[in-house]
Structure 1
Amino acid sequence: MKFQLVSLFSLLLSSATAAPSSPPEPKTFDIMALRSASPIHFSQVSAAKSGLFLDLPAQNATCKGDESKGSATFYVENEELVLYSSEGVKQKVFVDRSGMGQGIVGYITGDASLPRYGELKGWKVDADQNLWFKDTGLIACPNSIDGSWKIWLDLGLQQPGGNTGCLGFTARTLEIAKPVSCQYTQV
């Protein structure tokens, strides 16, 4: 009898540990710009029209339960920066570090083609909760859509894409415990 109880317990334990488990939810976060004594200090990153922006008045995203907010929510998976959505196709952030792209940052939806020199992999959040692409930070340029600041990869260019008045900033991630699922607009 004792042997049967031990065997039964062993069987139950092994079947419980062998049961398939769902993958853990990704660590989701919003991004805030840190640049002291500047107009973008504490600005939140938004996503719209296949680009990333600071101080964008309206993202016009389609969110679950109409809970749209002024900033975008992200997660990093396999070194890819992904806009958070609990359903549908993924929207992934790319950069173009070529001479032609000059560090442009944008996103694609689903299996859409990347720009010729676009890169998806290389994103990481460091120990201080700052976001980087292959150890390179971000820069924002004013006078974009609706008075917002367009985000670029900081390749050391003071005027990427012919823009003026650009400011480098630290991209601080802010963990979001209950993210809102959204699909962001495309060009």
Structure 2
Amino acid sequence: MKSFVALFTLVASAAAQDYFSVMVLRSASPIHYSTLTARGGKFYLGGAGPSSYCPPEVGDACPSGNNTVFAGGDETLSLAVVVPGGQQVYIAPDGTMAYTAPHSAYMPYGSIVDGWSKTKGENYYYLNFKDGLVGCPPTVQNQGYQVFGKIAGFNSTGCLGFSSLALNTTGVGAWEY
């Protein structure tokens, strides 16, 4: 019973936050209307769905894990998860848009965690990274376009810039990604 009460408290406190999923806009491209998906510690546009996990003891109280949901967007960005400690989104030194493993705050030295913002458009909010994001063509079939932050030294030749439309959601996306 204590575990259920603790889980309920975590989910209830998380529900009070601002959660959103991201759809990308890039007209006349293969990534137009794709969703930003957390998979294997990195982010992709298109390809398979998110990689999520829920401990068996949580049972039916677990979020579906079918969509990638974010929290924040005011300088920092996180995945909207229930797992204790959360999961931080960052740009790795090689430009990869990535996220921390569950129960860990580890990021490679030189990773960038700040520079995120949400700005109001005409009818929606947009998620921004300070110098922009790009989707680079897949190197593995059905992987989807991998997302990178435009940082100093990153070669974005062949990659597509895009706008990130932040779509409000009602709760966390998964126990963990």
- Consecutive unaligned residues of structure 1, counting only runs of 5 or more, are 1-21
Deviations 1:151-184 (A, max 9, x none): 0013487844xxx631000011101024433311
Aligned to 2:147: 151
Alignment of 1:35-54 (within 5 A): 35-54=26-45
Alignment RMSD (CA, Å): 2.6
Q: Is the CA contact (8 Å cut-off) linking 1:131 and 1:137 kept in structure 2?
A: no
In structure 1, the partner of 2:115 is 122
TM normalised by structure 2 equals 0.75
Determine the C-alpha separation between the residues in 2 that align with 1:156 and 1:120.
15
Q: Would you say how many aligned residue pairs link Structure 1 and Structure 2?
A: 154
What CA distance in whole angstroms lies between the structure 2 residues aligned with 1:157 and 1:173?
28
2:53 to 53, 62, 83: 62
Rg comparison, structure with higher value: 1
Structure 2: unaligned runs, 5 residues or longer: 1-12, 55-60
Task: Give the TM-score normalised by the residue count of structure 1.
Answer: 0.71
Counterpart-to-counterpart distance in 1, 2:68 and 2:161: 20
Aligned residues with identical type, % of pairs: 27
Hey, what's the Cα distance between the residues in 2 that align with 1:25 and 1:172?
A: 21
Per the alignment, residue 91 of structure 1 pairs with 87
User: 1:60-93, CA deviations, whole angstroms, 9 ceiling, x for partnerless residues?
Assistant: 3125546231x31001166221101134231111
Q: What's the counterpart of residue 171 of structure 1?
A: 164
Letter in 2 for 1:61: S
